[in-house]
Structure 1
Amino acid sequence: MDDLMKGEPASGFQTLLGYTLVRWEDGVAEVELTIAPQHRNRGGVLHGGALMTLLDTVMGFAATHCTVPGHSRRVVTLSLSSSFLGAVAEGTVVARGTLLGGGRKIVGCRGEVRRKDDGALLASAEGMFKYAPGSENPEGTPR
């Protein structure tokens, strides 16, 4: 698989949770997580906090694609509104984020998390994100 992060190392939180970036294009991103015991809540299903992390992460990626080698773009989350629609205890989930639009510094995104095997919708969200200085430009800033 190509290095979608273009040489940028995984964050500590990404390493801790174990999700993988599987698609990253202009305005769209996808991450996958294979559910392990540490991802489950006391009821034995994927924890809502893990779902929220995947949604926040994938929407942030959708807003920050950059094609300039050695450059990156960053956002901070301003708001996140979510709905939990299903539960899953095992297997792999796929989170997909889409950039909806916005202004030069603040943009909106939509996200969904689905079971990989049958596409059942588990959670959805919308969020507002603010670009870090320099990240509002598609060419980003040097790392």
Structure 2
Amino acid sequence: MSEKSKLSFPVHIPFVEQLGFELHSLGDGQAELRVDLKEGHLNSWEVAHGGVLMTLLDVAMAHAARSVHKHQPGMGPGVVTIEMKTSFMRPGEGELRALGKLLHRSTTMAFCEGSVFGEDGQLCAHATATFKYLKALPGRARSVKTLQRQDDSAG
């Protein structure tokens, strides 16, 4: 994977960093992520675990939903997944590429689709999802959790 084409994720997502996902494009209701599969990504068939594919799709679609706020301070509100439906077509192997696309949005909701392609260019999985735009998330004991933007850690 080319280091030049990699972008920084706009938010700190420890799980995504642990999985080694890379952001390659973001804007105009679209996002592209990639991951080069390692042993820890595999299932007992030695192909991408479905959870890795679903996470890749979820993150690609969420970033597509947020990309329309790219020019707002902190990239605008965050999103949380409300529902997601995934279909698996073929095993994912090698470097995977996920494309997320915003289909429609309202003030509070985003409707997206995403596809994961294997290194051979074949479609491995497809998903649709609904996201809710949020400025904060209520946590335990009703404490408010703010979005951990990348620029927050610098200060």
Q: TM-score range by the shorter chain?
A: 0.7 to 0.9
Aligned mates of 1:71, 1:83 — CA distance in 2: 30
Q: CA deviation at 1:119?
A: 1.1
Contact 2:7 2:22 survives alignment (8 Å): no
Distance 1:115 1:62, change over 3 A: same
1:87 maps to which residue?
Answer: 91
Normalised by the length of structure 1, the TM-score is 0.84
Match of 1:45, SS state, is coil
Give 1:137's aligned residue. Answer: none
What SS is found at the alignment partner of 2:131? strand
Q: Write out aligned runs for 1:28-107 (5 A).
A: 28-65=30-67, 66-68=70-72, 70-89=74-93, 91-107=94-110
Unaligned runs of 5+ in 1: 135-140
Assess, with a 3 A threshold, how the Cα gap between structure 1 residues 127 and 100 changes in structure 2: closer, same or farther.
same
- Taking structure 1 as reference, are residues 42 and 88 closer, same or farther at Cα in structure 2, changes over 3 Å only? same
Q: How far apart are the structure 2 equivalents of 1:99 and 1:107?
A: 7
1:84/1:35 Cα in 2 relative to 1: closer, same or farther (>3 Å)? same
Distance 2:5 2:85 in 1: 32
TM-score by length of 2: 0.78
Deviation readout 1:10-33 (Å, 9 max, x if unpaired): 421121100100010120000000
Q: What count of residue pairs does the alignment treat as equivalent?
A: 134
Distance 2:115 2:131 in 1: 16
